[in-house]
Every structure is written in C-alpha cells, then in structure tokens.
Structure 1
C-alpha cells in the first residue's frame, strides 16, 4: 500500500513538472520576445528538455509498476530544485521574482518525504538561495525598462505568488487524499488482523472442546449399548425407542466433533471428497433438513453449467450458520435460491422474520453485533463474513420490502475448485 501511495505521489510530481515545463516555456518566450530582455536560450532550453526527459523516465517507471521509495521521491525533488536553481542563475539570481518557487518544492517535500529527507531538502534549497545572492548571470535590461525595474519585480512576484498558490492547493489536496486512503487501508488491515486472531482463538477453543468431548461421548455410547442389551430395558418398547433416539443423538454429536477436528486438520478420515457445486449444495440442504424442521422450506438450485469442486466443511458450516440464523428468526418459512452469475456462485437465503436492525446492517460481520440478548450472539455472521472473505467472496444483507431479510453470499467459483475447469 505504501508503494501504491508513493507511485500516485510520483505521478502527481510528474504532472506538476509538466506544468513547470509549460510555465518556463511561456515565461521565457514572454520575457525574451515580448519584453525584449535577452536570455541565454540554449542553456535554459537544455534544462527544459532535461525535465521533459526526466518526466518520460518517471512515467515509464510508474507504468512498470515498480516500487517507489522515499529516496526516489527525494531525488526527484532534488532534481527539481537543481533545475530551478539553474534557471534562476541564468536569469538574475536571487533578484529574480520567481525565487520564492523554492517554497513550493519545500512544501511538497514536507508532505511527501520522511522527516530526514524533508529537512535535507530544506538545507539544499536554502544553500541554493544563498548561493544565488552572490553568484548569478546578470540580467541585461533594455533602456526602456530601466526605470520600471521595481514595478517589473512586483509584477513578477505577484505572478509567482498566484502560480505557487494555484499549484499548491490542488496538488497538496490530492496528496493528502492519497495519504488518507493509505491510512484507511492500513486501519482496515489492522482490523482484519484482529478479527483473524479472534477466529484463531475461537478455533483453538473449538478444537480443544472437541478433544474433551470425545471421551465422554464414547463413554455414553458404550453405556447405552450395554443398556440396550439389558433384558429389562430391551423388553420395554418405549424405553427401547428412547434409547435408540439417545444413541442417534450421541452419534450425531460424535459426527459434529469429528467434523470440527477434520476442519482443524487434526483428523484424517475419508480423504478429499470431490463433487460438483450443484450436488454439494443439494446434499448440504438435505443434511440441514435432516436435523431441522422449518414449517415451510423453498429451495431453488438454478445452476445450469455445473462446476467440479472439492467438498469444503468450512463452507458447509458457513451455510449452516446462515440457515440456522434464518430458521431462528423465521420458523414459519425459509427460502434459499442458488444461481451462477458469470464466474461467481450466488446463494440467497430469505426469511419472513422481523429483519435486521439498521445498526446490525451498518456493522455487518462485526463480532457480537446482534439483537439477540444472550452471551456469544453475533458470532455466526462474523464467521460467515470472514470465511467468505478468505475465499475471495462477499456477504451482504438487506431487509425485504415484503418483510423478513435476505442474506446473499457471493463466492468466486475458482476459490471452490482451483485449477479445475467447468464440467457437467
């Protein structure tokens, strides 16, 4: 991000130098031709051509997307100071009314450069100014202008002031905008780092809990199997049915624990499962419905051109979280629509619940931003947003005009199946 900002600032310097070149050409022509003050055109033209060549080289450097360092910006400004010094030396030295253009270079250096290089630029500009007070090429004035020297000097100072002010305001404004964009981006990166550290802590806790739950679940499973073989309990149909249901729920808990360990890379089960996007979503919806009971559920899988993918437990859990939140808000009806838009998969989950508060929509994906007044609420969407962001996708939410809410997940298909091509 720093390189990008410095490249933008270098481009601004190039634009400013183009204006300086145009201004020098216009000034030289007016002074030499209109005012009749003879100037050393050859060396002054050579300086202008050198600045043009420097601009072309700088633009080529920017186009190559090469990094731009503080040292390079410092050298560019030093060259500008040198060019200004040569032009002033050839046109009257410190008595030239355009001598105050040094302040323009110093102001740019104060904004663009690090402290040491900005102060170094100040020292160089001061030394050049001082040197021009005693060493310069005298400006031969025609007899017609000898009595107007002071008036000409005031006019030149006014033109210099207007020129410097007109250049400083837009260019410093743009430079500050570049700096603010960089600071905002760095703040976003810090926020993401904090969120990812939070997720890592949650993952460690979940993995540890899965390890701890493994032993008691296995013990309960053994005890239930012993009970089911006991004649007293086996002869009672109601108890047998309840024991079977308990065993089913324990098996489900063990499956969930195994899924947590597999997601964290600590278990090695069946290996990589390859499927297609359409089949993955169909199986996901079927698995979710097997343990949840919405009164009405509408599912539309509108994927025509299917894509091969690797089954992803994390993505499956993400969609489970979204569906669970929708079910909690709207037990009466949930709708899910899946379609492909270009190279992206779009999954929209709709419900007929009360919708999102404006405060939740404004901070979607932030941890613990929820209208549910219970500990730990708000982590579901936080995890959804971060998992999708890691995969290059996005999550958006809105309230529906007919009531309820829509959560839309957009995910690039390439993230689901890197290196795979489309297939049926």
Structure 2
C-alpha cells in the first residue's frame, strides 16, 4: 500500500535516488570500458556526485523534527528530473535507452503528491523529453542518423519521434490512473482514521455513561432530601419574600437536576429516535435553558414555517443542545440563536459575543477531557458532538469575523415531514 506520510516518502525517495545513481554509474563504466563510447565523463560524473551528495544531505535533514511538506518533496523530484535531463543531454538525448527513468519521478509524484504537483511533473517530463529531441550531445553508436543518409535517416527520426509519442501516452496514462488511485487510497485512509477516532471516542463515552449511571443512582436520594428540606423551609419562611424567592430558585435548580437524572435513565430505556416538531423542540429547550441560566439573555430568530417540519429526537439531544447554549453563555451574558431550514436539514446557529475560540482550543476541539474553561470538565462539547453525529447531524465551530464564536448545528429533517 502507498504510504502518504511525507517523511517516509522522502526517505524512500532517497533510497530510490541512490539506486538510480548507482545504476547509472555502473552503466557509465560499462559503456566506457566495454562499448568504448565517447562520453563526457567529467560532466556526467559531476551530475551523479551532486545527486549522491543531495541524497546524503536529505537523509541528514530527516533526522530533524521539521515536518516534510509537499512543496519540499516536489522540489526533490524536480531536482531528480533536472539531473536525469542533464545525464541524457550528455549521453545521446532522446536516443538514450534509459529515458524511461523519467517515469520514476513522475510515478512518485502521482502516487504521493496532490494532483497539481502530479500534473506539473507530467508537463515537465514531457517538455524535458521534447527538448532532448533537438538539443543534446549526439552519440554515433546510439543514433544511426550520423552514419546514414536518405530514407534511413528519415526512418531513424520517425523512430525517435515514435518513442517520444509513446512516452507521452504512457506518462499521461500513468499520471491519470495513479493520481486517481492515490486519491482513492487517501480518502480511504482518512475514513479509516476517522472511524478509529470515532470508535475510541465512543468507548470513552461509554465508560463515562457507565459512571454516570452509577452517579445518577447515588444522587437520587440526596436530591430528594434537598427537595423535602427546601419545601419545609419555604413553608417556614413564607413571611419573608426575599428568602422565599431564593428558596424557590433553589427548588427549581433541584428539579432541573432531577429532570436530568430522569432523562439519563429514560435514555437508556428508549429505543430508536423519534420525530419531533422543530418549533416545539426549541421552545421546550429554551424554557428549560432559561431556568438554568436566568442571568443570560438570548436573541431568538426562528424562520417562519419551522413548525411544519420535524427532526429526529431522543432525550440526549436536549442535553447536547443545552451544553452548546451553556458554552456560549459562558463566554458572554448575551447570545443569539438562529434557526432555519436549509434544504433537507435544520440549521441552528448559536453565537456568543466573547473573545472567540482560541487557536489552542480549536486544535483540541472534540477531544475528551480537554476544556478551554478553567473550571470545565472537558466532556460537554464531546458529548454534544457524539449525540448530534449519532442522529445524523454535524457540529462546527467558527471564529465570528466580527466578535465571538459561531456554533453551527446541522440536524436532518425527517423525510415524511418535508
């Protein structure tokens, strides 16, 4: 299988270059000793020496931690193309039997680099071969034209032109099919990596769910006790309006905790997600959120006609959306929520007016137990993302061009409701 790690590709390129330099060196020695060809040995030897030195320098460079980029790999292949062209120039040009070596950097570029680099390498290889048809140091032993005249000379020229056309067709086919195969393999590797990451995250979430179930069982009794005591205090201090309001606020928070625990239990019992009316979902969600965050303000913009559409819902979706609203409210006391239909999808956009998502947070976004907040647990966004993706949706975060962070939530609309 083709490797797409740039550092490994560069190391393999060095090995291939060393093999080609060794093969050309042996060919030069054989041509000079056995065939008595009149070659420009100083020029050819200098070219091979520079190639060998670059190989050693590149291997030394690979010891550093600096990442290998595609432009760097393309530059290395471009050097190989130039060095081969110089070798062919001093050894018969288009009549050199080793011209097929042009296919080596071309194949590597097509297999490892993005398609613009591959097609650029194809163009350069074809142009280099074409230039060698007219500009080169001729060798009488390789090109019959210097020894014959008339129709034989014309036939020799046609033979060389035919070789060039064959090379062009072969190079075009190799580039076309290798680029497509490499692109397909890249996509497959990316999908496999995404699936592995998703599986690992699901395993971690399952472990959290197991702990949460035990915690829910343990918290049931203390919450019931708190609720009973608060009701008794409400009766005892009914004559104190300020204290009664505080006790009522505490009762509402305890009820929210109880509702969350009940949702957790019902989530484990429920089966498939059910369709729910979009407007009813958002109204119920915002009523619950306002109880949780009475100090926060929200600017709501609902597209007309959303009440005629449905989206898939299960109890965990409420918590996922609440987490995202709370994340926004943690950044600024005023947030905005926009809901609209986008084709067969429901688009929710939550904006805060804080400092915006930092580069460090964006880099680790979605990782469990990483939080950009000082007192955060690092599981809220991951849980929300996992829930929404399980329902066929997506979550994306952007840095708003004016101020704050924009959270975009995509949920599918049920087919029967469109």
Alpha-carbon RMSD across the aligned residues, in angstroms, is: 4.4
- 1:151 aligned to 124, 136, 153, which one? 153
State the alpha-carbon separation in 1 of the partners of residues 227 and 386 from structure 2. 41
Cα contact 2:252–2:291 (8 A) shared by 1: no
Q: Give CA deviations for 1:229-286 in whole Å, capped at 9, x if unaligned.
A: 98x99646689987776665444323212322333xx2259x9765311111121111
What TM-score, normalized to structure 2? 0.54
Count of matched residue positions in the alignment of Structure 1 and Structure 2: 283
State the alpha-carbon separation in 2 of the partners of residues 354 and 229 from structure 1. 41
- 2:327 aligned to 305, 325, 328, which one? 325
Instruction: Show the counterpart of 1:277.
Output: 278
Structure 1 stretches lacking a partner, 5+ long: 1-96, 113-145
Q: Taking structure 1 as reference, are residues 385 and 235 closer, same or farther at Cα in structure 2, changes over 3 Å only?
A: closer
Instruction: Show the counterpart of 1:335.
Output: 336
Q: Taking structure 1 as reference, are residues 191 and 317 closer, same or farther at Cα in structure 2, changes over 3 Å only?
A: farther
Instruction: Show the counterpart of 1:404.
Output: 404
Cα contact 1:210–1:261 (8 A) shared by 2: no
What TM-score, normalized to structure 1? 0.54
Cα contact 2:107–2:175 (8 A) shared by 1: no
Question: Any residues of structure 2 matched to 1:183-222 within 5 Å, and which?
Answer: 183-221=185-223
Question: Any residues of structure 2 matched to 1:23-422 within 5 Å, and which?
Answer: 151=153, 154-221=156-223, 223-224=225-226, 235=236, 248-263=252-267, 266-268=268-270, 275-304=276-305, 306-331=308-333, 333-358=334-359, 360-361=361-362, 365=366, 371-372=372-373, 376-377=377-378, 379-413=379-413, 417=414, 419-422=415-418
State the alpha-carbon separation in 2 of the partners of residues 165 and 364 from structure 1. 49
Q: Taking structure 1 as reference, are residues 203 and 335 closer, same or farther at Cα in structure 2, changes over 3 Å only?
A: same
Displacement after TM superposition at 1:360 (Å):
4.4
State the alpha-carbon separation in 1 of the partners of residues 358 and 230 from structure 2. 50
State the alpha-carbon separation in 2 of the partners of residues 336 and 110 from structure 1. 50
Secondary structure of 2:396's counterpart equals strand
Q: Taking structure 1 as reference, are residues 226 and 208 closer, same or farther at Cα in structure 2, changes over 3 Å only?
A: same
Cα contact 1:278–1:303 (8 A) shared by 2: no
Displacement after TM superposition at 1:164 (Å):
2.6
Q: Taking structure 1 as reference, are residues 227 and 102 closer, same or farther at Cα in structure 2, changes over 3 Å only?
A: closer
Displacement after TM superposition at 1:225 (Å):
6.7
State the alpha-carbon separation in 2 of the partners of residues 376 and 179 from structure 1. 43
Displacement after TM superposition at 1:348 (Å):
1.0
